[in-house]
Amino acid sequence: MALNKLIQREIEENPIRVAIVGTGHMGGGTAHQISRMKGIEVSILAELDVEKAIKVYTINGIAKEKILVTTNPDAAQDAVQRGLPVVTEDSELAAKVAAVDAVVEATGFPEVGARVAYESIMGGKHVVMLNVEADVVIGSILGRLAKSAGVVYSIAAGDQPGAICEMYEWATTLGFEVIVAGRGTWSRPGCHYLTPDTFKDLEEQMGGSAKMYCSFHDGTKPNIEMAVTANILGLVPDIRGMHEPFVYVRDLHAVFDLKENGGILSRRGVVELANQYTPQGDRIIEGTVGKGVFLVVTSDHPIVQKNMKHLFSHIKGTGPNYALYRPYHLTCVETPNSIIRACLYGESTGTPREKPVAEVIAVAKKDLKAGEILDGGGGYTVYGQIESAEIARKEDLLPLGFAYNIPVARNIPKDNPVKYSDVTVDTGSFIYKLRQLQDTR
């Protein structure tokens, strides 16, 4: 058991030493959870707002005078070895500190995430990626590099992609065919045009950023998370943006079936979203997937079908497809499990395949004028939609991860996908260079 191994490390005073980059809702939450665990500790917090990082430590009972604030790798190494907590403004410091075992990337910025993950892998650290915005663009090359370096590159347990991957592993290990893998969402009609202004109050209440909260509600984040899932499991979107129907849990098995069987899908083996909002704009919480995740599975074995039919007899009309539903995902609360799995067993919660099958493309949130600067997911200019990697390449569509701080070269009508030729891409960015390397495979 992992707990026994952690207790032993606690006794031996040899904890798993973790660095967390970004101390917002997810990064800070991971640190708080680790503070209650045995055999693992947060050794370094990297954050531009130093006082914010210091507060993460002090709220967990660490005296401020014991915290070392530094950008010097040697000083950080000495402090970590002595069990003293470190705060730094340098997002890549942990990669240079030999005593650190794993790095959690939680900034949410694609360019920063690409650099932190790359440098950490090159520094021999396991990487747990909470930055799905970066992973969806260059996760495949990072996974390849980690494998070559003998370390683990993993998405995070607790995030919906991680929860889905855990369910998928369970189902496919048992020999089930997965028809669809998905998560709940809450996308009301017209949601694509929301801006961060709507979420300023939530930013103050929860401590994250209004832009991040906007990305959840304008549809960008759910599309990113399902693309991340697709690239790990080899599933694809059935259509651009997915169907995202309003559906109750009790009807998942019927709605997410092939069209010839009365469902909405044109093929099996896809990623999807189950919406809480009806087409009329009514939000129904009771009985819907909500913040949970699900699979729809089937089997071609007659006795397995007989057993499943009996076990699902409480759900009207079920079979030959069956919905497996987990009503929650615990975000940063579960992230330490991915750290432990990597450090103790050399295993990942999920690593992207060598060749991506899905892309998240940038789509104009409003009529964009030549010269306007794109501000990425959850901002004022674009939203993200999942598309198959093959179609995205064929149509020259811009990955959302490149739509940050770059100018529009020509007018783009609202709801039109952004093409490479529509913008001036920052070809000098680190994430762009990694993507070029990934695309050569």
Region 248-254 average pLDDT:
97
Based on the fold, state whether residues 288 and 385 are members of the same structural domain. no
Q: Give me the torsion for CA of 267, 272, 277, 280, rounded to 10°.
A: -30
pLDDT at 204 over 90: no
Tell me whether residue 240 is in a domain.
yes
Residue 1 pLDDT class (50, 70, 90 cuts)? confident
Tell me whether residue 189 is in a domain.
yes
* φ and ψ of 37, to 5 deg: -110, 160
Helix axes 220-233, 210-217, angle to 10 degrees: 70
Q: What is the pLDDT of residue 395?
A: 98
pLDDT at 367 over 80: yes
Q: What is the pLDDT of residue 369?
A: 97
Helix axes 110-122, 430-439, angle to 10 degrees: 70
Tell me whether residue 353 is in a domain.
no
Please tell me the least confidently modeled range out of 251-260, 308-317, 340-349, 364-373. 308-317
pLDDT at 339 over 90: yes
Range of the domain at 14: 2-158+332-345
Q: What's 401's DSSP letter?
A: G
Based on the fold, state whether residues 25 and 41 are members of the same structural domain. yes
Based on the fold, state whether residues 293 and 363 are members of the same structural domain. no
pLDDT tens, 96-122? 999 999 999 999 899 999 999 999 999
Which strand (E) or helix (H) includes residue 213? helix 210-217
Q: What is the pLDDT of residue 316?
A: 80
The first and second tokens of residue 337, run together, are 């499990």
Tell me whether residue 352 is in a domain.
no
pLDDT tens, 21-68? 999 989 999 999 999 999 999 999 999 999 999 999 999 999 999 999
Residue 197 pLDDT class (50, 70, 90 cuts)? very high
Residue 326 pLDDT class (50, 70, 90 cuts)? very high
Give residue 68's identity as a one-letter amino acid code: L
Based on the fold, state whether residues 67 and 174 are members of the same structural domain. no
Residue 256 pLDDT class (50, 70, 90 cuts)? very high
Strand-pair category, 102-105 with 126-129: parallel
The first and second tokens of residue 67, run together, are 């915290």
Q: What is the pLDDT of residue 34?
A: 98
Tell me whether residue 350 is in a domain.
no
Based on the fold, state whether residues 151 and 171 are members of the same structural domain. no
Based on the fold, state whether residues 280 and 394 are members of the same structural domain. no
Which residue do the tokens 């942990």 mark? 94
pLDDT tens, 403-427? 999 999 999 999 999 999 999 999 9
Q: Which residues are CB-contacts of 358 (< 8 A; sequence separation ≥ 6)?
A: 136, 226, 227, 230, 231, 235, 236, 237, 271, 386, 387, 388, 389
Tell me whether residue 128 is in a domain.
yes
Based on the fold, state whether residues 321 and 366 are members of the same structural domain. no
Look at phi and psi of residue 281 and say left if phi exceeds 0, alpha if psi is from -120 to 50, else beta: left
Tell me whether residue 274 is in a domain.
yes
Residue 318 pLDDT class (50, 70, 90 cuts)? confident
Q: What is the pLDDT of residue 43?
A: 98
- Which CATH number is 15's domain given? 3.40.50.720
340 closest CA partner among 159, 156, 173, 160: 156
Based on the fold, state whether residues 59 and 171 are members of the same structural domain. no
pLDDT at 434 over 80: yes
CB contact at 8 A, 339 and 18: yes
- Which CATH number is 389's domain given? 3.90.1210.10
Q: What is the pLDDT of residue 341?
A: 98
Instruction: Return the number of other C-beta atoms located less than 10 Å from residue 65's C-beta.
Output: 5
Q: What's 326's DSSP letter?
A: E
Based on the fold, state whether residues 115 and 197 are members of the same structural domain. no
Based on the fold, state whether residues 248 and 141 are members of the same structural domain. no
Domain count, the chain: 3
Tell me whether residue 351 is in a domain.
no
Based on the fold, state whether residues 268 and 318 are members of the same structural domain. yes
pLDDT tens, 77-93? 999 999 999 999 999 99
Based on the fold, state whether residues 214 and 302 are members of the same structural domain. yes
